[in-house]
């Protein structure tokens, strides 16, 4: 049994993590062996994601006033929480990828940017390109008009130079 001081420390630690978390996926880990959970943690850790098995009551208390408050009522039964601090889509991709290989891990839902999503919505989020790819597409899209303008201006100058050259050649021939 945990005493009040230990519970308070756990709630404080969870609250700090919930405040920093960009995305969280809740799982039912029932049926996984210790080796399988270790494998899951290793895969998540290599992607910069933390996985914790939490006490439901303490997790519900820790969500108060954080972006993860939307998930408060999801903490029932055995719940493992994967928390990502950089990119919410990476959390969903990694956890769903593991659950495809190991069907014992059930994805219950998750929170992305303060909004609660079910497992099917998380699959859609996981299918999105990474943040870096989306930023690259955005930069390319924003750069395209400027590039077209530069090419157009350059072609106008080049055509003008050709016209001057042709005029010069015509006058020198006459």
Q: What percent of the chain clears pLDDT 90, i.e. is strictly above it?
A: 18
Task: Note whether 98 and 43 are within 8 A (CB).
Answer: yes
Per-residue pLDDT tens digits for 6-63: 889 999 999 999 998 888 999 998 888 899 999 999 999 998 999 998 888 899 999 8
Which ranges of the chain does DSSP label H, i.e. alpha helix?
4-20, 34-46, 56-63, 88-101, 119-126, 131-173
Reported as a pLDDT band with limits 50, 70 and 90, residue 89 is confident
Distance CA 104, CA 30 (A): 7
The residue among 28, 47, 53, 51 whose CA lies nearest residue 109 is 28
Task: With residue 69 as reference, give the H or E element that holds it.
Answer: none
Per-residue pLDDT tens digits for 102-120: 888 898 889 988 889 888 8
The residue among 40, 39, 106 whose CA lies nearest residue 74 is 106
Average pLDDT, integer, range 70-82: 87
Bridge partners of residue 110, in order along the sequence: 25, 117
Per-residue pLDDT tens digits for 122-163: 888 887 777 777 788 788 777 777 777 777 777 777 787 788
Q: Is the pLDDT of residue 80 over 80?
A: yes
What's residue 51's pLDDT? Answer: 92
Task: Note whether 162 and 154 are within 8 A (CB).
Answer: no
Reported as a pLDDT band with limits 50, 70 and 90, residue 83 is very high
Handedness of CA 106, 31, 14, 50 (dihedral sign): negative
Q: Is the pLDDT of residue 100 over 80?
A: yes
Distance CA 86, CA 103 (A): 26
């Amino acid at each position: 049994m945990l005493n009040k001081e230990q519970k308070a420390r756990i709630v404080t630690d969870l609250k700090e993590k919930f405040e920093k978390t960009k995305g969280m996926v809740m799982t039912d880990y029932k049926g996984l062996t210790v080796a399988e959970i270790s494998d899951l943690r290793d895969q998540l850790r290599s992607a910069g994601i933390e996985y914790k098995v939490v006490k439901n009551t303490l997790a519900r208390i820790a969500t108060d006033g954080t972006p993860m408050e939307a998930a408060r009522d999801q903490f029932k039964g055995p719940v493992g929480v994967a928390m990502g601090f950089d990119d919410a889509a990476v959390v969903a991709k990694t956890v769903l990828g593991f659950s495809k290989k190991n069907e014992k891990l059930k994805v219950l839902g998750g929170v992305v940017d303060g909004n609660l999503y079910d497992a099917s919505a998380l699959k859609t989020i996981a299918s999105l390109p990474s943040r870096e790819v989306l930023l690259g597409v955005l930069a390319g899209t924003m750069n395209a008009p400027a590039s077209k303008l530069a090419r157009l201006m350059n072609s106008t100058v080049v055509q003008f130079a050709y016209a001057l050259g042709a005029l010069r050649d015509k006058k020198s021939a006459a």
